[in-house]
Structure 1
């Protein structure tokens, strides 16, 4: 069974905009979330310009072989993501303007 993560990225950040958690499972989860934000905003047209984020789940104690698929919902600007193998999935809000938001760097016209 998969998890659904509903995350406001701002809850993981300190006043300087960096990840506030310094170690442990919370830090690993925060790093996974910011990697999804980077990949989604760094490659908005899914052209392979940014490395895919590997799934972090370990069903039956074995690493999932999936790569996260994600997009920005145009209606509310939330990042929606899913692993097509294990169906782990989530929604990320509060990512705009963070250190991992690469939308400003994507000026290529499509």
Structure 2
């Protein structure tokens, strides 16, 4: 039987004002899961690990996710609001455990426009 982990998305002013709970098959990336469930997270590079616009902070369940690559870590260094639990959602693959994610208020794109 396929496992269906739950992603709890903490409230985000624009993308998910009430927050959300979505259930998706194991092996789905967080970015795909959000997009498939109507949460229009930015993904400027079409999920090819070439930008930081799909940056999320994993508040719960980080240890159950796949390890980040060196390429992802290098990119994350440029992300706005970087934290220890930050991941690029296009590179983060769900295992069997539920996770809680926070979408940062700004992406690098927004940060540039606002200055």
The alignment's TM-score, normalised by the length of structure 2, stands at 0.26
Q: Which protein shows a greater Rg? A: 1
TM-score, normalization by structure 1: 0.27
Q: Which structure is higher in helix share? A: 1
